[in-house]
Amino acid sequence: MKILLVEDHPELAKSIASYLVQENYVCEVAPTFDEAREKLVLFTYDVVLLDIMLPDGNGINLLKLLRKEGVESSVIIISAQNALDFKLTGLSEGADDYITKPFPLPELHARIKAIMRRRSPHKNNVVTFLDITADLESLECRVKGKVLNLTKKETNLLLYFINNKGRMLTRQAIAAHLWGDYTDNLDSVDFVYQHVKNLRKKITDAGGQDYISTVYGFGYKLNAPD
Amino acid sequence: MKLNYRYTIAYAVITFFVLSIGFAIVYAALSRSVTQATIGRLEHLNEVVASRLLSSRDSAGLKSRPNVQIRLLPDTLRQPRTVVVRQEWDSALQARVAVVRLTTYPFVSERRYAITSRASVVEPSDVYLTGLVLVFAWTFVFLLALVVILSELLSWRILRPFNATLRGIQQFQLSQKTPIELPRSRTAEFEELNDFLVRMTARAQRDYQGLQEFSENASHELQTPIASIKAKIELLMDSDELAEKQLGLLAAMHDELERLAKINQSLTLLAKLEHYESRPADLTDFSQLVPATEAAFADLAEMKGLTTTQHLAPAVRVPFDASLAQLLLNNLFSNAIRHNVPGGEIRLELSATELLLANTGHAPTAPVEELFGRFKKGNAALDSIGIGLAIVKRISELYGHRVSYDYADGWHRLRVVFAPPVG
């Protein structure tokens, strides 16, 4: 899977790129409008991560150009603009998704995965982590073949864990993923604790093993046992 | 007091004084002219008597002889005429009246005579005075009525540009994009005032916009470095070499950064809302949006053990942009949950005119009206940034809705009174 990251801030670009490489993506970085355009003409990318404020142009214009030229890459806008900007001005028109800075890296990963799934809906609809499986179509989750009775939020949480297995997920990242734009609540992280607790209980009740470990003061991690 | 009332009162006082002085002058002049006219007649009489003396005719036949006294003086010295006015009993009138005596000293046939003639004068008395007072009083009343009516008409006409300017200032908002609109006036002073106001507001607007842009850009520019630091911390967290102590430090940094990002985002949002031009034509169906938002927060409410009761009127459509309405409700709901007590209640009431969101909770520690300000928190212990209500207020103001907040009997009540529909 090939990703083009269009971002002019070198340190942020480096961090995002190294994270994506760890997740087994091929990631190239274009720090300017011109360089991005050149790369898009020459190569094909599955996903373009597009910053709006570029030193030599506006990312939105690049997006329009892409769509005009019939480039089929999916585009996720990553911008410091407020979420409300996108809603009020239709800034993200033509893009597949948008995410506002600062964002948790696992969230970016989840968004990329969701987009890829939308692009090829028939391919591999089941994600697996050891003996846990989740069907993305029916949203049915099983442990050792036994169906888990999960709420929508818990299903969402489990998928987020599986998609980011082996990674630290901060409480804030989980809260942002579960409630998204609904809450700016900093104390909604307390509710994350409740949801994770319920999820773990349901998995162990169904006879599964609790693979989720807690990192105190920080968050959670879905880890295969050593 | 209105300007033209002040003018009218001042004018009434001046008129009163002028009329009083006029009355005094007229009265004095009248009484003087009666005496003067009498003296004139007596002078004529004396001349007639003197001419009779010259022709040696007897004046005894004269009808007015009883009122004339003729004396022969021992010397022939010239003497000026004398006038004596005295109050005397007049038997003919059976009343005390002013009697005028005129004495002239004619030189007839080498001899000096003194001729004194007298006449009673009826001076302007009480009745006369009353008549005069009435005339002046009526004049005063008539003038006053005229002044009141005319000042109302004239001030309406003359002060029209001034009143228009006042209205213009009242409607002016620093955050509006257009310059202040003031009507032209033919009055030099008003024109000067308008010019000054236009220049002053334009400068204030420019400064204000500069400040707005600055804070917006500053917040905006901060987001990318924050994102960069956050991403680096996240990468660091995933490395295996970290001891628990280092992880703890990282966690604290991450939390603080998260907080910083949230504050920054809220400030950018507020700045955005300052610029946002609302279209009151946009309607949002609150009868659908409120329960939908309630459902989105249901799991949070449930985890805190809160019970929610709803009384929602159907088909309540309110002027709001849909995403702004969502933002407003999100802030209200998350407040109602956050500031609640475990096992508490939330009450929702939606009518065609207002939305009431009430929740149980501890008494706020700050005065309730201050909570709409930025970074004001009713409860310092909670980990919120205290900007939610400022956003709620700003969004409501965009559409002319009024937000109020009060606390009584353990209930926090947040009320959004919808602006009456346009047109």
What's domain B283-417's superfamily in CATH? Histidine kinase-like ATPase, C-terminal domain (3.30.565.10)
**A152-184: per-residue pLDDT in tens?**
889 999 999 998 888 888 888 888 888 876 656
Average pLDDT, chain A: 86
Q: Are B419 and B399 in contact (CB under 8 A)?
A: yes
- CA neighbor of A11 nearest in space, from B227, B234, B335, B359: B227
Confidence band, pLDDT 50/70/90 cuts, at residue B131: confident
pLDDT digits (tens, 9 = 90+) for B270-307: 877 877 777 777 888 999 999 998 988 888 888 888 99
DSSP state of A59: H
Residue B110 Ramachandran class (φ > 0 left, ψ -120 to 50 alpha, else beta): left
The verdict on B233 touching A (C-beta cutoff 8 Å) is: no
Tokens of B293: 């938002």
What is the predicted pLDDT for the residue at B60? 65
What's the pLDDT at A209? 86
The lowest-confidence range among A102-111, A136-145, B72-81 is B72-81
Per-residue pLDDT band at A187 (split at 50, 70, 90): low
Q: Beta partners for A170?
A: A219
Min Cα distance B421 → chain A (Å) is 22
Contacts of B378 (CB under 8 A, 6+ apart): B339, B364, B365, B366, B368, B371
Label each residue of B1-54 as H, E or C. CCHHHHHHHHHHHHHHHHHHHHHHHHHHHHHHHHHHHHHHHHHHHHHHHHHHHH
Q: What pLDDT, in 10s, does the model give residues B149-158?
A: 988 888 888 8
Domains of chain A listed by start with CATH number: 2-119 (3.40.50.2300), 126-222 (1.10.10.10)
How close A16 comes to chain B (CA, Å)? Answer: 7
Domain extents in chain B: 3-132, 188-275, 283-417
**What confidence score (pLDDT) does residue B68 get?**
84
Q: Min CA distance, B311 vs chain A (Å)?
A: 22
Q: What residue type is B105 in one-letter code? A: Y
Q: Nearest Cβ partner of A19 from B231, B296, B338?
A: B231
Q: Tens digit of pLDDT for each residue in B310-343?
A: 999 998 999 888 888 988 998 898 888 888 888 9
Which tens digit of pLDDT belongs to each residue from B4-13?
788 888 888 9
Res. B344: pLDDT tops 80: yes
**Chain A interface residues facing chain B, Cβ-Cβ under 8 Å?**
9, 11-12, 15-16, 18-19, 22, 80-82, 84-85, 87-88, 100-106, 151, 153, 167-168, 170, 172, 179, 181-188, 191, 194-195, 215-218
Q: Supply the pLDDT for residue A120.
A: 77
Q: Say what the ipTM of the complex is.
A: 0.85
Average pLDDT over residues B214-224: 81
The beta strands (E) that lie in chain A are given as 2-6, 26-30, 47-50, 53-54, 57-58, 74-79, 97-100, 126-129, 132-135, 141-143, 146-147, 168-170, 212-215, 219-222
pLDDT interval class at B381 (50, 70, 90): very low
B91 touches chain A (CB under 8 A): no
Give me the pLDDT at residue B78, please.
79
Cα–Cα distance measured from residue A169 to residue B222, given in angstroms and rounded to the nearest whole number = 24
pLDDT band at B357 (very low <50, low <70, confident <90, very high): very high
**Taken in order B199, B205, B207, B210, is the CA torsion positive or negative?**
negative
**Is the domain defined by B188-275 classed in CATH 1.10.287?**
yes
Contacts of B368 (CB under 8 A, 6+ apart): B378, B405, B406, B407
Most B CBs within 10 Å, among A51, A78, A155, A186, to test the B interface = A186
Interchain contact B292–A (C-beta under 8 A):
no
Question: In this predicted model, which residue has the larger pLDDT, B383 or B331?
Answer: B331
Q: Map residue B313 onto helix, strand or coil.
A: coil
In degrees and rounded to multiples of 5, residue A23 shows phi and psi of -85, 15
Interchain contact B256–A (C-beta under 8 A): no
Are A17 and A5 a contacting pair, CB within 8 Å?
Answer: yes
What one-character-per-residue DSSP string does B247-283 give? HHHHHHHHHHHHHHHHHHHHHHHHHHHHH----TT-E
DSSP 8-state code for residue B307? E
- pLDDT, residue B59, reads 63
Give the span between the Cα atoms of A28 and A16, in whole angstroms. 10
> What phi, psi does B94 have (nearest 5°)?
55, 45
Q: How many CA atoms lie within 13 A of A156 on its CB side?
A: 15
Residue B72 forms contact with A (CB below 8 Å)? no
What mean pLDDT is predicted for residues A85-108?
Answer: 82
Asked whether residue B244 carries a pLDDT value surpassing 70, the answer given is yes
CA-nearest residue to B228 within chain A is A12
Write down the mean pLDDT value for chain B.
84
Instruction: Check B228 against A12: CB less than 8 A apart.
Output: yes
What pLDDT is stored for residue A201 in this prediction?
A: 92
Q: By the 8 A CB rule, do A126 and A132 touch? A: no
* Cβ-nearest to B327 among A84, A85, A194: A84
Q: Please tell me the predicted confidence (pLDDT) of residue B376.
A: 62
Q: What pLDDT, in 10s, does the model give residues A32-62?
A: 999 999 999 889 999 999 998 888 888 888 9
Cβ pair B231:A15 closer than 8 A: yes
In this complex, the residue of A102, A168, A185 whose CB is nearest that of residue B334 is A185
Mean pLDDT check: name the lowest of A17-26, A107-116, A179-188, B266-275. Answer: A179-188
- With a cut of 70, say whether residue B118 has pLDDT above it: yes
Q: Do A167 and B338 touch (CB under 8 A)?
A: no
Q: What is the pLDDT of residue B422?
A: 61
Q: pTM of the predicted model, to two decimals? A: 0.67
Give the per-residue pLDDT at A32. 94
- H-helix or E-strand containing A117? helix A105-119
